[in-house]
Amino acid sequence: MTVSQELHADLVIIGGGLGGCAAALSALQTGKTVLMTEETKWIGGQITSQGVPPDEHPWIESFGATRNYRTFRNKIREYYTTNYPVTTTQRFNNQFNPGHAIVSTISHEPRVALRVLYDMLAPYLSNGKLTLLLEHKIVNAETDDDQVRSVTVQHYNTDLTYILIGKYFLDATEVGDVLPLANVEYVTGAESQAETGEDHAAKEEEPFNMQAFTYCFAIDYIDGEDHKIEKPAQYDFWKNYQADFWPAKQLSWWGLVPHTLEPVKYSFFYEPDTFSLWNYRRIVDSSNFEKGTYQSDITIVNWPQNDYWLGPIIDVSEEDKAKHLYNAKQLSLSLLYWMQTEAPRPDGGFGYPGIRLRKDVLGTEDGLAMYPYIRESRRIKAEFTVKEQHISGEIEGKESATYFKDSIGIGCYRLDLHPSTGMNTYIDFSAHPFQIPLGSLIPIRVQNLLPASKNIGTTHITNGCYRLHPVEWNIGEAAGHLASYCIDHGLVPHEVRNNEQHLKDFQAQLVLAGIELEWPKIHKV
C-alpha cells in the first residue's frame, strides 16, 4: 500500500450519506474545514446511492425537521419546478410531491437529491473548506489511548491512499466501519431482555441478528413492449423459497401487515381496497408533468419481497459478506424476472414483460442501487442508550416519550423492525414523538470520535425508529455542531453534556442553527 499524501482538516467525516452531508454542512457553516469520504460515486446515502425515497413523519411539512433539512426538501421542489415541465397545477402546489408515493410527501428521483446536496455544499467545495474523496473506503485507523489520531482511506480502483488527520473524526458510514478500526466500543444485533429491560428484546443476546438489508432498483412500465432480463442464476431458488414466518413464497404478491402479522395480498398497480406496490415508493408520477414528458411512472422496488434476511454483512468474513451481498442482488433480480414472466395478473394472465429496469435512475450497470439499503448499523456503546421504555407508545399510562434535558433534536416514526437474520418476523409498534439525547452520541471512552448516522446509542429495538431520513440528518447535523463547539471551547463531548452551562450554550447554538429540540407539549419525566 502506497501512501500518497497526508490531508488535514478540523473534521474528518468518513461516509457521505445523509448524516455525513448534514455533519459536513453544519461544521462548514460554523467556519470549520472538513474532509469527507464516500465509498460510492454518489453522496447522499439512503436517499441516493441506496435508492430509498424519504420516509418521514406526518408533520414534516410544518414541524419536526432541522432548518437545513427543510432547506434540502424545499430545494428538491425548486429543482423540479425550475428544470422540469411540471404541470401548472402542481407548479403552484407548495407541497408538490413529484412521485406521490405512499411513504412520503416528497418522493423524488435520487439524481435530484444528489444535485441538491451538491448545490448546498457547492460554496465550500469552491472555497476549499470542503475536500470530498469519492470511491474511497476506510482501511485503517491510528489511535493513541482515548484519541483517534488519523484514518487511512484507499481509492477503490487504485492503490492510492490518503492519511486523513483531524481534530475530530465522525463515523457517518452506513454500517459503522470506523468503530472496529478505531477500537471504539460498540454493539451489533439484538441485545437481551436482561440487558435492556425491553419487552420486545430477544430472550438471549444475538449479536448477529440484524434487520434485513435490501438492494433497491427502479422500474417503469411500457405496455406492449418486452423488456425481460436474462433469467438470474438463483431464480429457481428464490422462486421456491419461503421463510417459516412468511405466508407464501418470497416471490409472490403476499406479505404481512407488520404490526398485526396478518397475511396481506398486495396489488402491483392500483386496485381498489388493496395496497399498491407500484405507488408505495413511486418517485415519478407522470401525471405531475406535461404530457409526453415521461413514458411511464417510475417506482423504486424496496418491497417486502426483496428484503434479504439470510445472513448479516457486519462483522463476518469477507467471503460471507460477499456471498450475502451477491445473494441479495440475486433476490432483487429474481423478483424483477418473476414480475416480468410469472407474476399473476388480475386478468388471469401471467407476467408483465413491459416492466423495464431503469439502470439510469440509479447509475449502475446492473440496475441495482450502488449500495444496499442498510437498516441497522454497528452502534456505539454510549454514555446513554435509548431504550424501548423511553419512547414506546404501548406502555400503559405513558402519554409521551421520556424528556431528555440534553436533547439535540427530535424525530418521529414507529418502532419498525423488518424481518431479521435471526429468522424473526416484523417487530412493529407505535412510538411517541421523541427526542435525540446528546448522550447517545458520546462514546463511553474515545473522546474525539462521534457517530453521525444510524450508529448512535440505540438498541436493536429503538434503532427501528431512529434510522429514518430526517433523524439521520438531525444526528449528523448535531454531530457536526458538537465537534465544532468542542474545538471552539477546547472541550471534549462528555464535558459539554455534563456541564450545565456548556450544555445550555451548546443547545442554544443548535436552536440558533434551526434545530428543534422538543416536540410541543412533550411530557417531562
Q: Which amino acid is at 501?
A: Q
Residue 143, C-beta contacts closer than 8 angstroms, at least 6 positions apart: 149, 182, 183, 446
Assign 270 a pLDDT band (cuts: 50, 70, 90): confident
What is the arithmetic mean of pLDDT over 96-103?
Answer: 96
Spatial contact of 284 and 294, defined as CB atoms under 8 Å apart = yes
Backbone angles phi, psi at 213, to 5 degrees: -115, 165
Task: Identify the pLDDT of residue 271.
Answer: 84
| Segment 186-200 mean pLDDT | 98
User: Which of the four pLDDT bands, split at 50, 70 and 90, describes residue 272?
Assistant: confident
Across the range 127-132, mean pLDDT stands at 98
437 CB contacts (<8 Å, ≥6 apart)? 384, 386, 404, 406, 407, 408
What is the predicted pLDDT for the residue at 522?
Answer: 53
Q: Which long-range contacts (CB under 8 A, 24 or more apart) does 270-279 make?
A: 271/346, 275/102, 276/102, 277/253, 277/301, 277/303, 279/100, 279/101, 279/102
Q: Give the span between the Cα atoms of 395 and 377, in whole angstroms.
A: 27
Q: Are 138 and 116 in contact (CB under 8 A)?
A: no
| pLDDT at position 276 | 95
Beta bridge partners of 186: 380
Instruction: Quote the pLDDT of residue 273.
Output: 85
Whether 157 has a pLDDT exceeding 90, the answer reads no
Residue 184 has pLDDT above 60, yes or no: yes
Mean pLDDT for the stretch of residues 184-209? 97
- Greatest C-alpha distance within the chain: 70
Residue 40, Cβ density class (10 Å: 0-12 exposed, 13-18 middle, ≥19 buried): buried
Residue 64's SS3 state is coil
| CA nearest to 228, candidates 333, 328, 365, 303 | 333
Cβ–Cβ under 8 Å, residues 326 and 215: no
Work out whether the CA dihedral 80, 86, 91, 97 comes out positive or negative: negative
> What is the share, in percent, of the chain residues with pLDDT greater than 90?
96
Q: What is the pLDDT of residue 3?
A: 58
Count of positions (residues) in the chain: 525
In sequence order, what E strands does 27-146 have? 34-38, 130-134, 136-144
Run of H or E residues at 152: strand 147-155
Give the rounded percent of residues in the chain with a pLDDT score beyond 70.
99
Our measurement of the distance from residue 230's CA atom to the centroid of its chain's CA atoms, rounded to an integer in Å, reads: 30
Average pLDDT over residues 343-367: 97
Interval 420-439 mean pLDDT:
97
Q: How confident is the model at residue 4 (pLDDT cuts 50, 70, 90)?
A: confident
pLDDT tens-digit profile of 220-259?
999 999 999 999 999 999 999 999 999 999 999 999 999 9
In the predicted structure, residue 523 carries a pLDDT above the cut 60: no
Segment 156-170 shows an average pLDDT of 94
Spatial distance between the Cα atoms of 219 and 335, rounded to a whole number of angstroms: 12
pLDDT at 525 over 50: no
For residue 12, the number of C-alpha atoms closer than 13 Å in the C-beta half-sphere is 23
Confidence label for 170 from pLDDT (cuts 50, 70 and 90): very high
Q: What is the pLDDT of residues 480-501, one digit of tens each?
A: 999 999 999 999 999 999 999 9
- Cα separation, 25 vs 232, in Å, equals 42
Q: How many CB atoms lie within 10 A of CB 143?
A: 18
pLDDT band at residue 2 using 50, 70 and 90 as cut-offs: low
Residue 426 has pLDDT above 90, yes or no: yes
Q: Is the Cβ–Cβ distance between 373 and 436 less than 8 Å?
A: no
Which of 503, 438, 457 is CA-nearest to residue 184?
Answer: 457
Classify each residue of 191-217 as buried b or exposed e, where b means 16 or more C-beta atoms within 10 Å of its C-beta.
Answer: beeebbebebbbeebbeebbbbbbbbb
pLDDT one-digit tens code per residue, 392-418? 999 999 999 999 999 999 999 999 999
Residues 6+ apart with CB under 8 A from 278: 267, 268, 269, 270, 297, 299
Integer Cα distance of 442 and 448 in angstroms = 9
Q: What local confidence, expressed as pLDDT, does residue 524 receive?
A: 45
* 33-74 residue pLDDT tens: 999 999 999 999 999 999 999 999 999 999 999 999 999 999
Give the residue carrying C-alpha cell 416480468. Answer: 340
Q: Are strands 298-301 and 217-221 parallel, antiparallel or unpaired?
A: antiparallel
What are the Cα distances from residue 61, in Å, to 3, 95, 106, 117, 518? 47, 8, 10, 19, 16
Rounded CA separation 479/499 (Å): 18
Range from 11-20, 265-274, 374-383 carrying the lowest mean pLDDT: 265-274
